[in-house]
Amino acid sequence: MTATNSHKPTLIGRYEKVIGVLVKYGFADVVTHPPFSRFVPKWKKLIPKHEGVPVTEFTRYELIRMVCEELGTTFIKFAQIASNRPDILPEELIEELQKFQDQAMPVPVENVQGTLEQELGEKLEKSFESIDFQPIASASMAQVHRAVLVGRKEVVLKVQRPGIEDTVALDIQILKSLARLVESRFPQFDAYQPMELVKMFETSIRKELDFTMEAANMRRFEEQFKGNPDIYVPTVYPEFSTEKVLCMEYIDGLKCTDLVALEGIGMTGAELAFKGINLYFEQVFDHGFFHADPHPGNIFVLRDQRVCFIDYGMMGTVMEGDREMLADLLLAVHDHDVDGLKTALLRFSWDEAKIDHTNLEYDINEFFQNYSNIGLEEINSNEVMAALNSLFFEYKIKVPSNLLLLLKALVIIEGVGLMLDPKYNIIENIHPFVVRLLRRKYSPAKLSKKMVKTFGDLTKLATSLPEDIEDIIGKLKQGKLHIEFEHRGLAPLNHAMEAASKRISFAVVLGSLILGSSLLVIADVPPHIKNVPALGVFGFVIAGIFGLRWLASIWKQGKF
């Protein structure tokens, strides 16, 4: 059997690589702290240049992109996923992180063969007539090969890159160390929530590494569109699929942006834009399970004009309540409703108490004023989403990651629509789906269901209330009732009191030392140094050293 990975990466080796790249791009201030400081080659002076250009000529955000680019798969994926968080990261950094292209050099043939032999075993020879080891697509996580099953059925094999799992595991450890370091040593970056970004990334990339989950996504997607004549989902072959290999039907379709080819099957770009994006809205607002990466390379058109999405590794889920929140937001944008958009944004936030409501309302009003004199057909949805993202970031409105993923996917799908039809307007076309969702929300059947549930909750409360009151009174009588208080905003006061108590204690000890030394000198207690009591002199010296240290500490803190 062919070896798939002869050189297994080590944590120390990976640390050294990460540190070298950080220093190269001018992030030496990060690697001078533990745990990275243990691995820094102090004897080696690295010149911070990129392609001959000093790194000082690039912005900090450009340097972050360069670091991720040079460190490879895991860091590129992390940057791509982090770019879905405009509520945490600034717009300039988001723009840099979105420049990544998920492309990679092909894996050697012997490594691909080794992975297939290891994962499929005897099935490889018994079930496949041929496999083309020249990949039709090569990305950072996997590459895709055409193959033919016994019986002449054409399929594609998505094969995971050998060793990628080990590298990702090591890189996640390093990313967590970096996140902890940034949070502890660089408080100015707290707003970016580095540890939350790493945790979100870890969850996402572990799903992408398991191809059985992608196969499950395809089956679920196929089930929700069962009977729909406008969409086609490739058949997945679970008997030839594992965590590292995914076997699915080969799609011989047209690229969705090939307008000439579309004309050959009797379809215009405008017709495809309307059909394809309406199918996407159906995914979001009717099913709550959507393709999270709908770029043109993942959308094909069959010759019978059915739309076919491929690559189901990154999918998004939105619950009914989140869809309703999103519908309220989009409807407020469509209707230029200041109060409605403010309410929708605040419902998104996890910590409404920290938001300046008055300034938010002024900024929303300005947001609408920018579009008040522009025709609906001239509004750029990318600009609208960018403006909303700026509001998220400026007011620290922490939006659930699945909703941000959806907002980004909507921007991508709108870009596809504009390639097909320059006059396509996503805001106008999304409006009927939003209205339909809100009608379902306030339908008599839904309202009556909520009323029944509310009545049930009230009945349950009324039934249990006397027993709860009796229990509280019983605990009061027995002196067993405990009430917990949570003090907020007292940390600075506690810190100040702690510092003051330490200084008072130090002053008392210092004063006692000076007084005791004075008494020893007055009492002329032996032994003597030049007729002066030695113990008294020693006490004065110690008191002087402590006193100077105390004054230096106060001077350094600027508090007198």
Select the more confidently predicted residue: 91 or 311. 311
User: For the residues 173-180, what does the mean pLDDT come to?
Assistant: 85
Select the more confidently predicted residue: 383 or 119. 119
Q: Quote the pLDDT of residue 20.
A: 74
Q: What residues have CB less than 8 Å from 80, skipping those under 6 apart?
A: 97, 98, 100, 102
For 427-440, how does the pLDDT look when each residue is reduced to its tens digit (9 = 90+)? Answer: 778 878 878 877 77
HSE (CB half, 13 Å, CA atoms) of 92?
7
Q: How confident is the model at residue 176 (pLDDT cuts 50, 70, 90)?
A: confident
Select the more confidently predicted residue: 209 or 182. 209
Residue with tokens 């039907």: 249
Select the more confidently predicted residue: 495 or 152. 152
Q: Do residues 248 and 218 touch, judged by C-beta distance below 8 A? A: yes
Select the more confidently predicted residue: 226 or 405. 226
Q: How confident is the model at residue 456 (pLDDT cuts 50, 70, 90)?
A: confident
Which of 374, 368, 373 has its CA nearest to residue 388?
368
The model carries a pTM of 0.65
Asked if residue 560 has pLDDT above 70, the reply is: no
Asked if residue 491 has pLDDT above 70, the reply is: no
Asked if residue 91 has pLDDT above 60, the reply is: yes
Q: Quote the pLDDT of residue 11.
A: 75
Select the more confidently predicted residue: 264 or 352. 264
Mean pLDDT of the chain: 79
For 70-87, how does the pLDDT look when each residue is reduced to its tens digit (9 = 90+)? Answer: 777 777 777 776 776 665
User: For the residues 241-266, what does the mean pLDDT come to?
Assistant: 94
Asked if residue 46 has pLDDT above 50, the reply is: no
Q: Do residues 311 and 293 touch, judged by C-beta distance below 8 A? A: yes
Which of 439, 338, 427 has its CA nearest to residue 391?
338
User: For the residues 115-125, what does the mean pLDDT come to?
Assistant: 91
Q: Quote the pLDDT of residue 407.
A: 75
The catalytic residue positions are 293
DSSP-derived letter for residue 397 is -
Asked if residue 475 has pLDDT above 60, the reply is: yes
Structural domain spans, the chain: 11-102+168-194, 105-160+210-250, 255-442, 491-557
Q: How confident is the model at residue 135 (pLDDT cuts 50, 70, 90)?
A: very high
Asked if residue 116 has pLDDT above 90, the reply is: yes
Rounded Cα distance, 405 and 315, in Å: 9
Asked if residue 265 has pLDDT above 90, the reply is: yes
Q: Quote the pLDDT of residue 285.
A: 86
Q: How confident is the model at residue 185 (pLDDT cuts 50, 70, 90)?
A: confident
Select the more confidently predicted residue: 374 or 359. 359
For 310-359, how does the pLDDT look when each residue is reduced to its tens digit (9 = 90+)? Answer: 989 888 888 888 888 878 877 787 778 888 888 887 776 655 556 777 78
By residue count, the chain amounts to 560
CA 435 to chain centre: 30
User: For the residues 206-221, what does the mean pLDDT come to?
Assistant: 92
Q: Which CATH number fits domain 105-160+210-250: 3.30.70.580, 3.40.50.150, 3.30.200.20, 3.40.30.10?
A: 3.30.200.20
Q: Which of 170-174, 179-183, 211-215, 479-483 has the lowest mean pLDDT?
A: 479-483
Asked if residue 510 has pLDDT above 70, the reply is: yes
Select the more confidently predicted residue: 161 or 88. 161
DSSP-derived letter for residue 163 is T
How much of the chain exceeds pLDDT 70, in percent? 78
Q: Quote the pLDDT of residue 159.
A: 95
Q: How confident is the model at residue 556 (pLDDT cuts 50, 70, 90)?
A: low
Which of 303, 310, 309, 294 has its CA nearest to residue 254?
303
DSSP string, 247-281: EEE----EETT-HHHHHHTT--HHHHHHHHHHHHH
Q: Quote the pLDDT of residue 275.
A: 93
Rounded Cα distance, 106 and 137, in Å: 8
Rounded Cα distance, 83 and 405, in Å: 9
